[in-house]
Amino acid sequence: MTEYEVLYIVSPKMEETAREELIARFEKVVTAAGGTAEVNKWGMRKLAYKIDFMSEGYYVLMNYSGPSDLPAEIERQMRITDAVMRFVTTKKVSNKLTRAEDERRAKAAEKAAANAKAREEAAAAAAAEAAAKAEQVEEAIETVAEEPKAE
């Protein structure tokens, strides 16, 4: 399924219950087509320019995934709904640059993990070597202490 997002502006003249029903209606269009939707209500915001003599609108961002004909159906329903002032639909695309960057980061993380493991192994080997030298010194001290002194 392809991922899309639609940002639409609902008329501020609409009552809150009617607005919620409208938002739920667009969400049901997605779920009825077998997709999934996530609605993010931005609330009342000032418009960049007046639309139908109104300077504010209720913004809603809906991220959804579904079949390729789904955006056309949502846009059709938004066009025939008088309460929707404006809308824009975009298709989310994972571009090659993002994938290449992800691969580069994964390789860097693997290299850092390998370097960390090598440092740990070197530290463990150095600790073992130091312990062995300390043991040799202790044995030498014991043998010197056990030897009788010549007078």
pLDDT digits (tens, 9 = 90+) for 129-144: 988 888 888 887 877 7
What's 106's DSSP letter?
H
Question: What's the rounded Cα separation, in Å, for the pair 16 and 89?
Answer: 24
Q: Which of 13-27, 84-98, 102-116, 137-151 is least confident?
A: 137-151
What is the token pair recorded at 53?
Answer: 């003599």
**Greater pLDDT, 95 or 102:** 102
pLDDT cut 70: percent of the chain above it = 94
Angle between helices 70-79 and 16-32 (to 10 degrees): 150
Q: Which residues contact 25 (CB under 8 A, 6 or more apart)?
A: 77
Report helix, strand or coil for 38: strand
Question: What's the rounded Cα separation, in Å, for the pair 51 and 83?
Answer: 12
Average pLDDT over residues 78-95: 91
